[in-house]
Structure 1
């Protein structure tokens, strides 16, 4: 078992150099456990939370991907950007717009089932909107990157690890959403109250 786990970790860490995707690494690890007798196929079939997570999470990823492909999410982001930073936008300084765009970037993740997809679809767009509003470049780029780590737990589909935790069955769906919202708001508040002074000291704004 230790050998299989070690091999799987190596494939995950150096997958790009080896030409092995994370999914392939996981499947090879599972095959290794099955071939060595550490797991049996019957044991795999009997673990219903894993199959449950696989089915609903795959559907949500597909729906999120289609929203992105059809341009729904990008259109929503552009409409919000025009309201805040366009020629006829709200007449505010860059600091309030910075906060509103962060809140929007965070809240839009309810429409995504992947942090990677969210970053790929909207990071550059929101960064450009912040720059157009006069937000210092380093502050815009780094703070958006930090936000990506905060919204991975706001729903049971917000990230891969959130799906696994929910699939374990320790929390009901309404608890996941309520606690996720509370943790998300607290996380943003902490970063705003503590992060902004630190970023000021670093010369980011």
Structure 2
């Protein structure tokens, strides 16, 4: 059984984005060393999962990007979780191997926990979750995340989009690694 990992940038006051989804602070407070740490986490994955909204935002961007995240984002297979229906991308329109990797994404439109259990039962490298607050909150509530990689940025927003608000009981985590980066980001790795 493979593990499910989450990697998120988060503020010191616990938000993954501003009230209106603003994330410019990630780029202002990050540095090359923290970015390298995050890219390495992406490279270890055998599958990237995300919600429909994140998928629709990322799919047109990554195939033509020259960012260091582009290679793992384009090469690692993907799965999309949706509650509102999603047909996927037009496979015939994929002009490059990178675009094809997005067009070939698996789509899960049923119960989130059931879909995650199915993916975890498959052989392969870990599953890495990407996404916005809504998807991450839903994923956390399933109790199926095995490892949290939180890049804690040196900024407080005062208000924004949290991801740990829907817990029905406390989530006990074990800190297994800490990395401090030159720009002030601190990478925390927790296991459940």
The higher radius of gyration belongs to: 1
Higher helix share: 1
| TM-score normalized by the length of structure 2 | 0.29
| TM-score normalized by the length of structure 1 | 0.27
Higher strand share: 2
